[in-house]
A and B are shown apart, each in its own frame.
Chain A
Amino acid sequence: MTENEQPLVKEQKEETIRKESTIDKSAIEESAKKGSKKIGVYLCRCGGNIADAVDLQAVADNLKEDKNVIVNIQDYLCSSVGQDKIKNDIEKGKVDRVVIGSCSPKLHLETFRGMAKNAGLNPRLLEITNIREQASWVHDKEDKTGVTSKVLGLIKGAAARMGSIEPLSPLAKTLVDRTLVIGGGIAGITTALELSDSHDVILIEKKPYLGGHMIGLSKTFPTLDCSQCILTPRMVAVHNNPRISMLTQTQVADVQGSPGDYSITLKHSPRYVDIGKCINCGACARKCPTGAIFLPFAQAVPQAYMIDMSKCSNCGACVKICPRDAINLEEKEETSAIAVGAVAIATGFEPIDPTFIEEYNYPSPNILTAIEFEEMLSAKSKTGMRLQKADGTFPNRVAFVLCAGSRDFTGKGRKHCSKVCCIYSQKQAQLVKKMKEDSQAWIFYIDMRSGGRRFEEFYHHTQEKGVNYVRGKVAEILPKSDGTLMVQYEDTNLGRKGREIFDMVILCPALIPSTGTKEIADKLGVSIGDDGFIEEKHVKLDPVNTLNQSVFAAGCVLGPKDIHDSVTEGISAAHKVSQFLGKGMILIPPEKPVILECNGCGDCVKACPYNALALEGGKALLSPLACTGCGICVPACPIKGIEIRNFTRDQVKAQLQGILSEAPGVIVFIDPYAYAAADIAGVNRKQYSSLVRLVSIPSVHILDADVVNAAFEYGATGVMLIEGITDEKLTSRSDDLYKKLKKDTRKHKKPIRYSHIETAQYEKLTDLLNVFASQAGAKAQKMSRKEEISDKEDPVS
């Protein structure tokens, strides 16, 4: 939904929308016929990005044969020159509907629709056909004629559907002015605090205390100030803030509702001690015979004891001694429901488990991860902030092994660089040298990455402190019987193998998204990348937004980074949330079902997964604000009385006819989530056959045999449905949909497939497309041969 499309009335009443969505068929036809329908087709060369693979002039010449169509080609349509051309044509009345052939609508649809609106055209009367990510970039190894014919078909299809597009306006829904921040690390803390100036916040944390990894750090690079000293004031501020409800040991269990208006179920695991009542006197811990009741660590926020039930003998000594009556041994896991308008995900990272790197022999005494090293010297220390080996003595020779599981393209580790290890290992090496001047600290690195302000200076300073640097990825760490560790490596600067004995080896593990990030992303309908981190709306330009307009992200859940950057993103996310909530309204796409005929059977009411339909006075009635536009009701209606506006059967069929008018091809219906995967495939130039024609639809569930049969009749050699949405309410029905379509289109004897593709699986997508295109092609050939041999027999029967 674009920000340009303000609803016509600010306070749209549910009633009026309801009425609008039950108009009768003639009204739609009327509105479709209105006007002279001068369709302007604008094709973009995109420098050579499109024009090098497609003969745009040939496309234009062919299109011009239609008297209702005018065609124009520009070098860069998104430039002001390009946009002005379209704007002028609209303003002068030369065109009243626009089809653009350019890059993905995910990039510039909002820009173009904004321009259309300024020119006085309803934004919905402008659409983009993707001829770059889904044509020129993915067939650039093919012959130009095939790609040109595909593009011509796509544009013809788009123009055919555009002819009957309704000038709809988005619907408006009131936002709930409350935000859920998930994760109480520095990123979540910052987001919550920044927001609390003007909005209510619920901050949840799955651990029993706030602070995330930062509370387990010693000193912080590049300035070496104490982590706890700079973090504690922020945590206390969260705790004391009347607009922030802080809930520890809490996770998201379920998400219902829609953007701007979520109803979320939270799950709280029991602490057995009431945080509100506990005054931290410690009387309970002194009485407990098994040491089951404890304070996580001295500076933990919230300041309250908790019980480890695996140790508790249920003697009740603590309950009796507690002066505040704060302890309840019977506490159970509980759930609660909250209503929020926006969500900020700040679930951070965790280290990869280095056990899989066999040659490093982790875990072994004195082989630690960098996080274990930090914790020994932090607020969470169990050694009284002393660095010590398994035998309690100080390690005089310490090695740091970088990239343990990072920068690995074999599938065993992770591809990405974990970004902070180069710098924190130098910090840790400095700390070792500081604790004992004649100790040795060696850093084994592949590339010392210290870009950015103050970091190269930090590197230089660490060198001055006498830390030893070796360029080479450690080959082996062998524990010796005397407790020391032998490290084998190649000094790549000299090209010589080396062996060295250490007392302690620190592995710097790849930093990966926290467990559960994918589940949260799925529940909120946002995508994750193939590295598992949350996908930004735009890598560079919208770094803390997601593809869900009411969900934001900050900190390491967007990729490894340091505290400075996590805080920056926390502030940015808070600003973006505030901007979003500040509108008070959320616009929802008007492409909803319209009930044209109804015999009151109630099948659609039963089918709707979101309770958006009800029978009133013997007729089905829609609540547009509850409706997600999933389209399940469309094929559910036995008398074909329901259509999705602007994706009606007739409109989609007209588009298919146009697409297949030039040459037969494979029709691939694709939903917006999987569409994003196809775009990424394009950006990565993953090639697939130009026979493949993607048809963007709001959901695969709007399809029925009527449409698919039409595709076959117009010449499709195969039909594929690609779904990317992860909402189980829909995906649980996809198999049935596929089976039904297969059965009801059997007479064509042409292949039909269904596949679920998430945004990150773009490689799987292109593989599928290629395999299917060649299967469909082979089948079509076989069929036509059969027809030739026995041309009297009806091959269909």
Chain B
Amino acid sequence: MKKEPIIPESRDPAFIEQVIKTPVGEKIPTCMQCGICAGSCPVSQEMDYSPRELVRMVQLGLKKEVLSSSTIWICTTCFSCSVRCPRGIHPTELMETLKPIAIAEGIKNRNVKFDNVFSDVIKTNGRASEFLLISKYSLTEPGMIKQLPFGLSMMVKGKLPLSIQRMENTRELEAIFNLGEKSREKK
């Protein structure tokens, strides 16, 4: 990974302001970089920045890196970091706060795409379907073709059922999604 030096232009004070104003933002400036969040995180090795680094980047206002990081999408919301943080910062909720900002900013990486596909599947069927998920995601992410043999072998073993279950009444669910959409617009 190439590391750009941090120069005044890389910092975005408006972004700091934006995050600090959210319910979880208030305590962000008090992060002391102790690292217990990252040490506790079961998936930090998969992230491009650890939760600790993400908090640091928010403190600095490195908007582009923060919003395009894989960290906020990889987080499993296990809450280990939030429970242990000695400064009462909630990295988990910070991730949840940053996701919609990333979407609103039009950030498009494979994590965002996957998230979109996932919520679409839920919205129309009311149930998750591995098959639909994978096939729809593959359409947006051509690299997925490489995973085909793996998918086939899963199918053979019955680990990727083709049947699609649907909820009886998806209209209520849609209404919920729409409400969520609206409240996001208001913010």
Are A and B physically bound partners?
yes
Given contacts A490-B52, A492-B33, A497-B44, contact A475 B88 (CB under 8 A): no
Determine if B162 is an interface residue (Cβ-Cβ < 8 Å).
no
Number of interface residues of B (CB under 8 A): 21
Inter-chain CA distance A413–B32, complex, in Å, is 16
Tell me which residues from 17 to 42 in chain B have a Cβ below 8 Å from any Cβ of chain A: 30, 32-36, 38-41
B residues within 8 A CB of A472?
Answer: 34-36, 39
Determine if B93 is an interface residue (Cβ-Cβ < 8 Å).
no
A residues within 8 A CB of B100?
Answer: none
Given contacts A472-B39, A488-B39, A490-B44, contact A446 B32 (CB under 8 A): yes
Inter-chain CA distance A495–B56, complex, in Å, is 12
B residues within 8 A CB of A492?
Answer: 33-35, 38, 52
Contact with B along A476-514 (1 / 0, CB 8 A): 100000000000111110011100000000000000000
Inter-chain CA distance A359–B86, complex, in Å, is 13
Determine if A733 is an interface residue (Cβ-Cβ < 8 Å).
no
State how many angstroms separate the Cβ of A401 from the closest Cβ of chain B.
11
Of the candidates B30, B39, B49, B85, the one whose C-beta lies within 8 Å of that of A489 is B39
Determine if B53 is an interface residue (Cβ-Cβ < 8 Å).
yes
Q: Which residue of A lies closest to B50 (CB)?
A: A495
A475 adjacent to B36 (CB under 8 Å): yes
Given contacts A409-B30, A490-B52, A492-B34, contact A497 B39 (CB under 8 A): yes
A413 adjacent to B86 (CB under 8 Å): yes
Determine if B184 is an interface residue (Cβ-Cβ < 8 Å).
no
State how many angstroms separate the Cβ of B38 from the closest Cβ of chain A.
4
A residues within 8 A CB of B35?
Answer: 446, 471-473, 475, 489-492
Tell me which residues from 487 to 543 in chain A have a Cβ below 8 Å from any Cβ of chain B: 488-492, 495-497
State how many angstroms separate the Cβ of A92 from the closest Cβ of chain B.
54
Determine if B110 is an interface residue (Cβ-Cβ < 8 Å).
no
Determine if B127 is an interface residue (Cβ-Cβ < 8 Å).
no
State how many angstroms separate the Cβ of A1 from the closest Cβ of chain B.
42
A residues within 8 A CB of B52?
Answer: 490, 492, 495
A410 adjacent to B86 (CB under 8 Å): yes
Contact with A along B45-63 (1 / 0, CB 8 A): 1000110110000000000
Inter-chain CA distance A274–B36, complex, in Å, is 53
Determine if A408 is an interface residue (Cβ-Cβ < 8 Å).
yes
Tell me which residues from 254 to 308 in chain A have a Cβ below 8 Å from any Cβ of chain B: none
A residues within 8 A CB of B84?
Answer: 359, 475
A476 adjacent to B39 (CB under 8 Å): yes
Determine if A407 is an interface residue (Cβ-Cβ < 8 Å).
yes
Q: A residues near B, CB below 8 A?
A: 359, 403, 407-410, 413, 446-447, 471-476, 488-492, 495-497
Q: B residues near A, CB below 8 A?
A: 30, 32-36, 38-41, 44-45, 49-50, 52-53, 84-88
Q: Pick 14 A–B contacts, CB within 8 A, sort by A.
A: A403-B34, A408-B86, A408-B87, A413-B86, A446-B33, A446-B34, A475-B38, A490-B36, A490-B38, A490-B50, A490-B52, A492-B33, A495-B38, A497-B50
Supply 9 further A-B pairs (C-beta < 8 A) apart from A473-B35, A475-B36, A489-B35. A359-B40, A409-B87, A410-B88, A446-B33, A446-B35, A476-B39, A490-B50, A495-B50, A495-B53
